[in-house]
Amino acid sequence: MKDQRHLFCLALFALNLSGCDRPGASAIPLTSGRVPGILLFNGTGTSPNDVAAIETLLEKSRISYSTASSAQLDEMSAARLRTYHLIIVPGGDFTRIGIGLEKETAVMLRDAVHYGVNYLGICAGAFFAGRTPYNGLNLTSGVQFGFYSAEGRGSRKAAVPISGAGTPTLDQYWEDGPQLTGWGAVVGRYPDGTPAVVQGRSGDGCIILCGIHPEAPESWRSGMDFTTPASADNAYAVTLIRSALERRPLPHF
């Protein structure tokens, strides 16, 4: 099993490095005539460090994207929003993310996903996708997510082993993230058996919700013990991004 896990990590590492010897593209401005496949939300309530971590992976993987603040999203038309293939909402504070947007914008986001725009929610972005009183998108048919059980034990961040369907366990960075019981197909599980990563649909949109931070760089790991290299976790993050972008089903339990 140890050898299998090592080989799996090396394979993910190779995937993550694909194209890294060529310079990645920076974010495409919203004012550009070119509309990329991904819109990365970087508005009120999002963690600047997490936005930067996701941007780094997108650029290394040569995946084009634009960013939008809360004000820019509020000003965006429904027709423009529907030109994107994937909306990514990163980690941060899901209450501030929701409250920082106009109610009409949250409705527009939900409608865009129903229309066929895909959605990837990481940590706070996963909370925001559920039913919350803070302008939540309720892409989950009324399911509201709670925190992973480590929160109740007083832990705020930790290296947590996440088991995948038919794949070796990967230690992932967790910080105040949700467990995703009650919605979607379970792609990854926490040690207590609750869902850490799920995939499903809302209308015509493909959705992936992730309670952990596979995009976390090495610098976030200080003071914690990981048996999985950051490169392998980052490669898993790219897999989630590409799967959401390409509407590709992931192995599930």
- Taking the chain (253 residues) in consecutive chunks of 10 residues, what is each chunk's mean pLDDT? 38 36 68 94 98 98 97 98 98 98 98 98 98 97 97 95 93 98 98 98 98 98 96 98 97 95
Give the sheet arrangement for strand 205-210, strand by strand. Answer: 65-68, 38-41, 86-89, 118-122, 205-210, 195-202, 185-189, 157-164, 167-175
Position 212 in a domain: yes
Position 228 in a domain: yes
* Cα–Cα distance measured from residue 245 to residue 252, given in angstroms and rounded to the nearest whole number: 18
Position 252 in a domain: no
Indicate the pTM of the whole model. Answer: 0.90
What local confidence, expressed as pLDDT, does residue 169 receive? 96
What local confidence, expressed as pLDDT, does residue 13 receive? 35
**Residue length of the chain:** 253
* Cβ neighbours for 143, distance < 8 A, ≥ 6 positions apart: 130, 131, 182, 183
What local confidence, expressed as pLDDT, does residue 25 receive? 60
Cβ proximity of 57 and 241 under 8 Å = yes
3-state secondary structure of 68: strand
Position 222 in a domain: yes
Position 116 in a domain: yes
What local confidence, expressed as pLDDT, does residue 233 receive? 98
Give the CATH number, domain containing residue 89: 3.40.50.880
* Cα–Cα distance measured from residue 245 to residue 119, given in angstroms and rounded to the nearest whole number: 8
Count the domains in the chain: 1
Position 131 in a domain: yes
Position 251 in a domain: no
Position 26 in a domain: yes
What local confidence, expressed as pLDDT, does residue 166 receive? 82
Place of tokens 């649909």: 201
Strand bridging mode 205-210 / 195-202: antiparallel
Strands (E), the chain: 38-41, 65-68, 86-89, 118-122, 146-147, 157-164, 167-175, 178-179, 185-189, 195-202, 205-210
Residue 21's domain comprises: 2-246
Question: Could you give the count of Cα atoms lying within 13 Å of 42 in the half-sphere of its Cβ?
Answer: 17
